[in-house]
Amino acid sequence: MKTRQLGKLQVSELGAGCMSISANYGPPADRHQGIKVIRTAHDNGVTFFDTAEVYGPYTNEDLVGEALAPIRDKVVIATKFGFDMDNGGALNSRPAHIRKVVEGSLKRLRTDRIDLYYQHRVDPAVPIEDVAGTIRDLVREGKVLHFGLSEASARTIRRAHAVHPVAAVQTEYSVMNRDPEHNGVLQACEELGIGFVPWGPLGMGYLPGTLDARTKLDPKADLRAGFDRFSPASLAANRPFVELLGRVGQKENATPAQVALAWLLARKPWIVPIPGTRNLGHLQENHGSLDVRLSPEDLREIDAALAGLKVHGGRMNREQMRVVDDSV
C-alpha cells in the first residue's frame, strides 16, 4: 500500500476506522473477531488506525490497544478527546480535562504516545487557542506527536494552526456529503498543508448498496436509526447514488464501495479515507479500491451525475449536528 502525508505525518493511503467494531453501528462485535480485522488490515498494508475514547465508551480504545500492541512501532494510532464521560458526555476541552483524559487513552491504548490526537468536537466554551496550546505542551512532553481537529470549521482550523500545526482534519466526506468542498475546509487544508481524513467515506454504510427501505436498524445499538438519512423513505430515495457508483463500477470491474473510495482518493493526494468494518470480506473489498483507477472521463461522469442528484435526509440528527462547528 502506498503512503500519503497528513501534514508531517506519513500514513497508509487508506486507514482503518475502528469505531464500528465496538459501538454505534450495531452491538459490539466479538472481541477476537475485532482484533483479527484490525490485524488483517495491517497485514494488507494499513498503518493508520482511528479510534476515540467515546467509542464504547473506552472499549474501542482498549480493543485497538490490544490488537496493535505487538506491532505498535509499525503503526500510527489516532484517538480523540473532547467529551466528558463523567458528565454525561458533555463537551469539555478545558486544558485540565485534556491533560486528564490523555492519560486514560494512553493506558487503554497500551502505549507511551498518541501519534495523532484529535479534538473530537469543537468546544465553544474553550478558545481553540487554549486547546492548541495544551496539545503543544503534550507534544513537548512526548505524549502526543501530532494535533488533529474533527468537524471543525475553516476559521477554527486557521486559528488552531496559528498556535500549533494541525496535521489532519477529520470530517464526514463522501459522494453523498460534499460539505467540505463548499464550506472552506478543504481549501483551508490545502493552503495550510494539512491532511484531510474523511470519516463515513461509504455514506455510513449506505453506499455499498446493502441497505434499503426494508432495513431495520436497532435504535438501542445503532446511531443511524435516529438519522433522517436512514429512514425507510430516505434509504429508498437515495438509491440513485448507489446506482451511479454501480454503473461506473461495471466499466472498471469494481463494486460501488470501491468506486466511492477511489473517487475520494482521486480528489486530492492528501486525502486519506478511513472506512470502517468488522467484516473481513468488506475489509478486502475496501482495500480493492486501491486497484481502481478512475479515468478523467469516469471522474467527469461522476461529478456531472452528482450535480443532478439530491441527498435525502440530514447527515446526522439535530443533537449530533448541534456540536458540529460551523463558525465562519
**Distance (Å) of CA 215 to CA 2, 91, 224:** 36, 32, 11
φ and ψ at 34, to 5 degrees? Answer: -60, -45
Strands 3-6 and 9-12, sheet pairing = antiparallel
DSSP state of 27: S
Task: Pinpoint the alpha helices (H) of 179-223.
Answer: 179-182, 185-192
- Residue 215, classed as helix, strand or coil, is coil
Residue corresponding to grid cell 456529503: 177
Q: How far apart are CA 212 and CA 328, in angstroms?
A: 36
| Catalytic hit among 25, 55, 117, 173 | 55
Is beta strand 166-172 parallel, antiparallel or unpaired with respect to 90-91?
Answer: unpaired
Q: Which of 82, 169, 168, 184 is nearest to 125 (CA)?
A: 82
Active-site residue, 55 included: yes
Residue 165 C-alpha cell reads as 500545526
Determine the residue type at 83: F
Which residues are the active-site residues? 55
